[in-house]
Amino acid sequence: MSHFTIYHNPRCSKSRQTLALLEENGVEPEIVLYLQDSPSRDELKSIIGKLGITARELLRKGEDAYKELGLKDSSLDDEALIDAMLTQPKLIERPIVIHADKAVLGRPPENVLELL
């Protein structure tokens, strides 16, 4: 099967379930441990585009950093939100699976079946 990438956090049950579902379907994705190997600004913008969502929709709103950085402020533009995700990668929703020019969030994990 062609190239897949998963932005993965092994401590997250949904991320582990998504990876397992890919592997059960014969996919051995490139695994990016995004908390250690954060995407660049261009990569993050590309991911957001492939997901077809806004930067705000990619934010994990339950994280302490979301509240501490005042990210609920609706006047913040995508660039400010991307800046926050670059400095605090735990703010990036997970897992993200990319295949060619499409991407999905593995919430629920079955979303990745759209890419197969």
**Which residues participate in catalysis according to the annotation?**
12
How far, in Å, CA of 23 to CA of 7, rounded?
15
Please give the helix or strand (H or E) that residue 14 lies within, else none: helix 13-24
CA distances from 51 to 22, 84, 99, 115 (A): 18, 19, 11, 12
The residue type of 96 is I
* Buried b or exposed e, range 94-110, using 16+ CB within 10 angstroms: bbbbbbeeebbbbbebe
